[in-house]
Structure 1
């Protein structure tokens, strides 16, 4: 795979028998010998270790970094407590989503984690619109340890993480040098993301994998885990044409950015987004449960009857859910058809198949509150 980047864990992935695929400009493990289903179920039952070093790690410095970044995201950052993390969105002038990201307040600076496929554009966007320094962290790996056993396993290596709540962040010393830890993840399970120096990444990964509770997990199971958890994939479920309200992300826009006061609005696309917050959007992202065993995947058109000529919506993500033991999908439909229990039809290989609008997530979240 020429011209693809490799993470600090590349050789370990090969040693573990991973099947490598191109993803966001990197060679990444899509699965290991046990396969996607076993990796998925092991994460739900115990703990999975994911290499997410392809994600972008960025530091934004300056006394007014939070206020400046609020001009690019609808989230409240000035009100973000120290050692806490918040989900945010870069929006465009039309109210669409340029990327979703995590933003942590680490006292004298903000630490951001952005999507791999968008990181170059995100960094350019910030540098073009912020006067405070934007520093790219390019010498650290990022590991995600996810699942109900994650706390016990990581506590053996970094004592004290058990005191962290969901969305807490810490910077602490360890046997693997300074590590930056957040209690968060992309599976719906309790877990942590750990930033560690590249030259310590393999040693840390081996220490985590030494536990009987931990198995390596690739991109395949990462996708099915996040889908069951009702979490969105940038480029599929959200994109530049999708507003936060349509996507069901209104919760990420705190009240202080919505109405009244000098911090309301002031972000790209605010006119459309604030209008939709008040009046609703014309379409909504929904969960979808296809009948039968065949998944309805990204791009499947949705119809309101078996004979309708024009689709009313489409599927944005779909796969078999190993935990729920059935196909699950997400997609967009008109708001009038977004009520749970609404019966629609997806066209799969020229045949209309029944699908029902369902609540998200498909499996309950297990975050430590």
Structure 2
């Protein structure tokens, strides 16, 4: 099957983007400056990432938004009924075994919900919504691009075009007119930095991108920097750090389970896998996602076995070099009894057993505008 092309494909190629296959799309992994420079520029100024491969889904109620939110709560452990208008929330689609089908962003836009899903699961998620939400219209916004403007100067860069963004705080959403089209904005991202995700009609994506890049402070960045930034921020990548074999509690994502959905809450349970997930909340899981700091300079990549004197105790799910820290970093799962920061373990790297320590996540503190 041929790879799908982004609405900004020609812009990426024209700017020297190295295009690679990713989740069925042809995506820029980096530009001539390289991953390191793009990563550090995001931390110091602002970068523009094309994330149009992500799925954008509109859930429109037929019987009122509260009824739709209640139906959606049968799919996720998040508190969707309590989600205020103009706000979005991180949510996990769980399965009957307590595993994670996908991690998504859900926004309350007043008369409907707007959901951003992962590219690798978009078709399955759409089918799941359509099968499960009989009292809703499920529409994919396939005619829109999605851009992520990330970094400490993101507000300044976007504010030149849309001054109203200065009043938005982390996880706010808004629909704002610009250039004869509606921009769907959220103050969020996948880097740990302040920033915005901007849904724009595909026909206007290049106009917006060029306007953001024109100021000079914003530069293009690709998949490579996006991955190293989210790893430093301790954020999960679906298919690596979370999947249908991992539960929200094991993954350290218990914070996404609403208070009302927990034991003793007004709407406790009622989501797929609730028995296992709520039991783990109460008793603890057998394994836990942790930060891992290898000693020395050798990175520990995904799949690296983690061992202790007792034998195999876990594995790395994401690993690489952290440009901000100038050191290798990793995340993975280890036995819960070994998950305390400071625990010293070993990683098997090309036949060598190298020391690694459990450390707190994230590696780089977030700088969201609260």
Tell me the TM-score normalized by structure 2. 0.98
Q: Which residue of 2 aligns with 1:334?
A: 335
How far apart are the structure 1 equivalents of 2:191 and 2:37?
15
What is the match of residue 169 of structure 1? 173
How far apart in 2 are the matches of 1:37 and 1:172? 33
Shift of residue 176 of structure 1? 5.1
Matched with 2:152 is 148
For residues 212-251 of structure 1, what are the structure 2 equivalents within 5 Å? 212-251=216-255
Query: What is aligned with 2:17?
Result: 18
Asked if the contact 1:224/1:320 (under 8 Å) is kept, the reply is yes
1:188-216 per-position Cα deviation (integer Å, ceiling 9, x unaligned): 00000000001000010001111221110
**Partner residue, 1:43:** 42
Deviation, 1:254, is 1.1
Distance in structure 1 (CA, Å) of the matches to 2:265 and 2:117: 29
Structure 1 alignment gaps of length 5 or more: none
Shift of 1:260: 3.1
Can you list the C-alpha shifts for 1:83-135, whole angstroms capped at 9, x where unaligned? 00000000000000000000000000000000000000001011111111111
In 2, the alpha carbon distance for the partners of 1:284 and 1:262 equals 28
Question: Which position in structure 1 is the counterpart of 2:97?
Answer: 94
1:272-287 to structure 2, matched below 5 A, reads 272-287=276-291
Over 4 Å off, 4+ runs: none
More divergent stretch after superposition (254-263 vs 170-179): 254-263
State the distance in 1 between where 2:142 and 2:6 align: 10
SS where residue 17 of structure 1 aligns?
coil
Q: How much does 1:259 deviate?
A: 2.3
Q: Which runs of 5+ in 2 are unaligned?
A: none
Structure 1 stretch displaced more, 256-265 or 128-137: 256-265
Residues 18 and 29, structure 1, Cα contact 8 Å, conserved in 2: yes
1:322 paired to 2:286: no
User: What CA RMSD, in Å, does the superposition of the two structures yield over aligned residues?
Assistant: 0.8
Is residue 259–residue 265 contact of structure 2 (8 Å, CA) maintained in 1? no
Equivalent pairs counted in the alignment come to: 365
Aligned to 2:257: 253
CA distance in 1, matches of 2:258, 2:102: 18
Inter-partner Cα distance in structure 2 for 1:248 and 1:89:
12
**Map of 1:202 onto structure 2:** 206
C-alpha displacement of 1:273: 0.2
TM-score by length of 1: 0.98
